[in-house]
Each structure stands twice: as C-alpha cells, then as structure tokens.
A and B are shown apart, each in its own frame.
Chain A
C-alpha cells in the first residue's frame, strides 16, 4: 500500500504564535483603576459641628450647570489645581490662607502641617463627569505637593518611595483633607 503524503506541520507553530500574540495584545486582564476616597463615618447626632476658621476652608461649589464657585469667586476647572495648591501650601504665610501647625514627624523633622480643609459641595444635578474632574484636580494638587516635598527631602518622587515609614511621613505632612458636604437639592435632578 502506498503511504499517504505527510502534511507539513512546521508552520503550525508560527500560526499559533500569531494567534497568541494577537490575543495577548487585544485582551486586557481587567485592571481597575480609579480615585480612592475614604468616606466619613456616619454622623454622630450628639457631635457638635466642628469649629473651623474661615481662613482654613477652601470651598469648591459645583452647581447643576457644572459651573464652579471657588472661594466665592467663579472659577474654571483649569485653574483649580493651582488654586488648591496655593491654598494648602500657603507659601508666603498670608493671613487669609490657612494656618500651619508645627509638628514633629519622623524623617521630616519639625514640619508645618497645613490646617487647610477643602470642602466640596455639589448639587444633586451636578454631572458625575464634572465631579470626577474636580476630585481629580484636587487629588492632583495634593499629589504634586507630596511629590515636591518628597523630592526635596528624599530626592525621589512620592510614588517611587518604597519604605512605608517614609510614605507615612509624607502622608502625615500633607494629608488628604477633603470634606464633602451633603449635596444640596437646588436644581432639578
């Protein structure tokens, strides 16, 4: 009997390699990313409202038309980051910007911690997109300040720090102090 001719399978490996690389490139092993926040614990009915001086509060109001009112002046999302940075760091120790409290932080020494609090208030009709953009800019402002401090003290960017003690020190020096008021229902939903 005559042997049937063998099929050449040499190129099979190449074909499956192609398929493999195609799937590797197109598929994403869903890595979620986002902006982290910690919500305040449920309100205690007996607690007195915290007494915060006017100079220590940076209010960001977002109305139902997604317009910003920052410190009682109309503003733009593009300016928000710089405004927030100026507010928190208060570089020239102005009377109108937040006070600082000197505290001993390990690895950093006596560091003036800003007492500034950023307060976001939005309407129920504000779009989620705008809200995220505002949160993004405020996170960015804090991040840039942390980076600057980290570069100054440890000669590395904040996110490149690996020692948990150093990370904690920076986080203590520049805390994420963003408070969110319950939304007002002014506009239509």
Chain B
C-alpha cells in the first residue's frame, strides 16, 4: 500500500492532452481535402487495363488526360466509344484545339515536355486509339503514356 501512496504524491504533472484532438482533426481535414481533389468527373466508363512494366508519371503539371470509353449517358452520346476531353464529349477532331489550350497553360520552356496520358477503357477497339495517336502526331504532341494499373506478371495472364 505504501508504494501506491508514494507514486501519487511525487508524480510528474500530467500533460494536457486537450488540444491533441484539435491537431489530429486538422491533419484529418488536410488529408480529406487533399485526397478527394480530382480534375474532372468522368462521363465515360473507363476500366484501365492491367500491365506489369509500368513507370510512374513524374510531373503532374505536364500531363493532360484524354479519356475514351463507353459514354455514361447513352441517350446523349450514343452507344459507341466516345472521347472525353476536359468535361465534355469530343471527337478526335477536337484534339488539336485541346492540345493547343493545354500547351498555352504551360511555361514556354515546358511546352515540349507535355505528356498526354491516354486513359482508355480496356474493351475499346484500337481504331479509335489509332485516330487519337494520328491527331497527336499531327499536332506534335509526341510524348504519350498509356495509363495502366500495375499488377504482377503472373496475374496478367491468369485473370482477365
């Protein structure tokens, strides 16, 4: 009994943890805000294909996205594969303008490094992808990146 008494009398003063929760909440809100930022809402269905040999995209500011897939609203855009540039449906003829505006946003020195990230649904036919690539070549946006999800090589052939 004497031991317990000792501890109580000569202890270190308790640290006030009242503000701890506030700090943690600040962290929490920070992460919530950061993680939900998404540039565009998708209006086409895109299921990104799997691949094993992927590289990470380095500079996000130099990247612009072209989406292709089946439209969410068939009444509006038909049942075939459509492109999405920014927030709207587009055809491959609009790519030239799109690339030009994206280039305008960049610094003079970075314009050559503009990378176009192709986010294409895995069931899309290559015809439309070929059209995109021809347009990109025409407007000299030559760095492209086929966006893929990383998986191990073994998974690639078993699951589909």
Contacts and interface: CB of A to CB of B under 8 A. Distances in A.
B56 A31 contact: yes
Contacts of A10: 17
Q: Which A-B residue pairs are the 3 nearest by beta carbons?
A: A124-B127, A27-B35, A12-B21
Interface string B134-147: 10111011111111
Contacts, number: 155
A83 B143 CA distance: 27
Measured as residues with beta carbon below 8 angstroms from the partner, the interface class of chain B is: 35 or more
A34 B125 CA distance: 19
Contact of B54 (A33, A38, A128): A33
Nearest to B63: A32
A38 B143 contact: yes
Q: Is the interface of B mostly helix, strand, loop or mixed?
A: mixed
Interface residues of A, number: 50
A67 interface: no
A51 B55 CA distance: 33
Contacts of B122: 127-129, 132
Interface in A174-189: 180, 182-183, 185, 189
A29 interface: yes
A34 B127 contact: no
